[in-house]
Chain A
Amino acid sequence: MTSDSLTRAFALLLKRDLLLAMRHRAEMINPLLFFVLVTSLFPLGIGAEPALLRAVGPGVIWVAALLAALLSLEGIFRSDFEDGTLEQFLLSSHPVSVLVLAKVLAHWLITGLPLLLVSPLLGVLLGLPGDAIVILLVTLALGTPVLSLIGAIGVALTVGLRKGGMILSLLVLPLYIPLLIFAASAVDTAAAGFPVSAHLSLISALLVLALSLSPFATAAALRVSLS
Chain B
Amino acid sequence: MTQREHSPALEAHALQCIRDDRTLFSELAFRLTPGEALVLEGRNGSGKTSLLRILCGIRLPDAGTVSWGGTDINKLGPDYHVDTAYVGHRDGIKLDLTPLENLAMARALGKPNNTTLEAALEKVDLHGFEDVLTRNLSAGQQRRLALARLLVTDTVLWILDEPFTSLDTDGIKSIEKLFEQHTRDGGMLAVTSHHAVNLANTRCQRINLSELAP
* Cβ–Cβ contact B96 & A13, under 8 A: no
Give the number of A-B contacts (CB < 8 Å). Answer: 84
Q: Which of B101-109, B121-129, B190-198 contacts A (4 or more CB under 8 A)?
A: B101-109
**Chain A contact residues, majority secondary structure:** helix
* Cβ–Cβ contact A93 & B81, under 8 A: yes
Closest to B79 in A: A93
Task: Known contacts A91-B56, A93-B111, A227-B59; decide if A20 and B105 are in contact (CB<8 Å).
Answer: no
Q: Is A193 at the interface (CB under 8 A from chain B)?
A: no
Task: Known contacts A89-B109, A92-B110, A94-B109; decide if A84 and B58 are in contact (CB<8 Å).
Answer: no
Closest to A226 in B: B58
Closest to B133 in A: A23
* Cβ–Cβ contact B86 & A87, under 8 A: yes
Q: Which of B64-72, B87-95, B177-185 contacts A (4 or more CB under 8 A)?
A: B87-95
Size band of the interface chain B makes with A: 20 to 34
Q: In the bound complex, how far is the Cα of B59 from the Cα of A201, in angstroms?
A: 42
* Cβ–Cβ contact A94 & B78, under 8 A: yes
Residues on the B chain within 8 Å of A49, using CB:
none
* Cβ–Cβ contact A1 & B108, under 8 A: no
Q: Is B97 at the interface (CB under 8 A from chain A)?
A: yes
Residues on the A chain within 8 Å of B95, using CB:
83
Residues on the B chain within 8 Å of A83, using CB:
90-95
**Min distance, Cβ B56 to any Cβ of chain A, angstroms:** 6
29 A–B pairs (Cβ distance < 8 Å), ordered by A: A1-B78, A12-B105, A12-B108, A16-B101, A19-B97, A19-B101, A20-B96, A24-B96, A79-B94, A83-B91, A83-B95, A84-B90, A84-B92, A85-B92, A87-B86, A87-B90, A88-B106, A88-B109, A89-B109, A91-B86, A92-B81, A92-B109, A92-B110, A93-B81, A93-B109, A93-B110, A93-B111, A94-B109, A227-B58
4 additional A-B pairs beyond A19-B101, A223-B58, A227-B58, beta carbons within 8 Å, are A80-B94, A92-B81, A92-B110, A93-B110
